[in-house]
């Protein structure tokens, strides 16, 4: 077993057995993923005036000063766009001194443009949980494009646990790529400990390159799969000329990477936003990639990264092949019992351009 690494599924289960992880309710059968744990909303949401960091305070004390009203999530409730909500989570922590954690929106959350961040008592950063933290967890939720229905037990975010500093440096990443082909590129761009991903604007055989979210839509129930028609919520985008797309300010786009992505079984990966200094856009949600994503042995040959993209302040032209994000890789502490993919009926294995699981497959327009 490695001395530093991301905790796999069996070690996450061991945290529960040791009391380092606690929950108000029994775990869902699929809540523990190969290298992460899904976090569940509690029974109450608090609408607040503005987002905040606890700093030197407990979150509950800040809520007492900032909350506008309480919302009972027991039977489900609508969270409106443009509003900020704080939800105590079912899970809480009492971590050992050598275990830290970080959180991220789940893939489906990002693809619905739901802004989420985990907070801890006296936390000075979102989504970062220091080694040895003991206390409750809270989720900030702010739907950006679609109003959503959530309830107690809904899973919008996920957390990874790590021992030490398992991040691969540039030399290790280049060596791993030469052995296991992390991205399908003859000349991978590796710098700063990350490997570049670029945008695909040539599209599928029908010329489809992505989707732009519509405004003023119906609500989306985050717990219901395949419930909505694509065209009620999205405008399909098709290839134009040499492969360019103008990002309009504050519009939300679903696009795909040009390269297929591979995460070998003994590693985990995370997509980080590209440096905003190279363009007035960003990949909106950094994302976790579990061990086995894109791995041929787990049914993932050809899996591409789906990108949630926004432009800010000014219109910005994306060109086919332009770098939009980077993948960083970390060692696993040990290999998970089950890999991302067919064994777990994972939603996004072997994906190309794909919307979230809430939309009916086959609804995409194939002619224009």
According to DSSP, residue 17 is labeled H
pLDDT at 294: 86
Q: How far is CA 139 from the centre of its chain?
A: 14
Tokens encoding 6? 């991301």
pLDDT at 279: 58
Distance CA 67, CA 45 (A): 10
pLDDT at 248: 93
Q: How far is CA 20 from the centre of its chain?
A: 24
Handedness of CA 239, 261, 315, 242 (dihedral sign): negative
pLDDT at 368: 45
The answer to whether 64 and 86 are in contact (CB under 8 A) is no
CA distances to 100, 130, 160, 171 from 193, in Å: 20, 22, 19, 8
The answer to whether 54 and 121 are in contact (CB under 8 A) is yes
Tokens encoding 233? 């919520």
Tokens encoding 199? 């945008």
- Strands 244-247, 128-129: pairing is unpaired
pLDDT at 366: 46
DSSP bridge pairs for 261: 183
Ramachandran category for residue 350: left, alpha or beta (phi over 0 → left; psi -120 to 50 → alpha): left
Tokens encoding 200? 């695909």
pLDDT one digit per residue (tens) for the chain, 368 residues:
558 999 999 999 999 999 999 999 999 999 999 999 999 999 999 999 999 999 999 999 999 999 999 999 999 999 999 999 999 999 999 999 999 999 999 989 999 999 999 999 999 999 999 999 999 999 999 999 999 999 999 999 999 999 999 999 999 999 999 999 999 887 889 987 899 999 999 988 889 999 999 999 999 999 999 999 999 999 999 998 778 999 998 899 999 999 999 999 999 999 886 655 555 566 656 589 999 998 876 555 778 889 999 887 789 899 999 988 889 999 999 999 999 765 555 555 556 788 999 999 764 454 44
Distance CA 221, CA 228 (A): 10
pLDDT at 204: 87
CA distances to 153, 183, 220, 283, 288 from 305, in Å: 27, 10, 23, 11, 11
Domains of the chain as residue ranges with CATH: 5-163 (2.70.40.10), 170-344 (2.70.40.10)
Radius of gyration of the chain (CA): 20
- In this prediction the pTM is 0.93
Give me the residue label for tokens 């976790």: 288
For 156, the 3-state DSSP assignment is strand
- Strands 190-191, 84-94: pairing is unpaired
Tokens encoding 319? 């060109």
Tokens encoding 189? 């761009």
């Amino acid at each position: 077993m490695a001395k530093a690494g991301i905790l796999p599924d069996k070690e996450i289960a061991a945290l529960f057995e040791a009391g380092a992880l606690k929950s108000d309710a029994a775990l869902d059968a699929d809540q523990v993923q190969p290298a992460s744990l899904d976090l569940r909303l509690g029974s109450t949401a608090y609408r607040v005036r503005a987002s905040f960091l606890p700093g030197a305070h407990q979150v509950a004390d800040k809520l007492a000063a900032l909350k506008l009203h309480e919302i009972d999530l027991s039977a489900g409730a609508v969270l409106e766009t443009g509003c900020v909500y704080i939800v105590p989570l079912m899970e809480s922590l009492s971590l050992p001194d050598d275990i830290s954690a970080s959180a991220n929106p789940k893939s489906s959350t990002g693809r619905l443009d739901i802004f989420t961040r985990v907070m801890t008592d006296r936390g000075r950063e979102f989504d970062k949980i220091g080694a040895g933290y003991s206390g409750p967890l809270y989720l900030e939720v702010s739907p950006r494009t679609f109003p959503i229905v959530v309830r107690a037990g809904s899973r919008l975010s996920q957390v990874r646990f790590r021992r030490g500093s398992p991040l691969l440096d540039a030399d290790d990443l280049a060596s791993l790529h030469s052995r296991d082909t992390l991205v399908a590129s003859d000349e991978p761009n590796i710098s700063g400990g990350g490997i570049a991903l670029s945008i695909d604007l040539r599209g599928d055989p029908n010329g489809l390159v992505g989707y732009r979210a519509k405004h003023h839509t119906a609500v989306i129930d985050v717990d219901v799969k395949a419930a909505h028609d694509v065209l009620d919520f999205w405008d399909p985008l098709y290839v134009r000329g040499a492969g360019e797309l103008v990002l309009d300010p504050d519009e939300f786009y679903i696009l795909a990477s040009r390269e297929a992505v591979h995460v070998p079984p003994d590693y985990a990966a995370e997509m980080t936003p590209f440096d905003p200094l190279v363009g007035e856009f960003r990949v909106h949600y950094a994302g976790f990639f579990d061990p086995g994503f894109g791995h041929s042995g787990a049914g993932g040959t050809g899996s591409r990264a789906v990108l949630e993209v926004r432009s800010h302040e000014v219109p910005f032209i994306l060109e086919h092949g332009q770098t939009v994000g980077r993948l960083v890789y970390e060692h696993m502490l040990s290999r998970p019992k089950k890999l991302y993919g067919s064994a777990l009926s994972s939603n996004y294995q072997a994906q190309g351009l794909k919307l979230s699981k809430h939309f009916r497959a086959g609804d995409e327009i194939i002619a224009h």
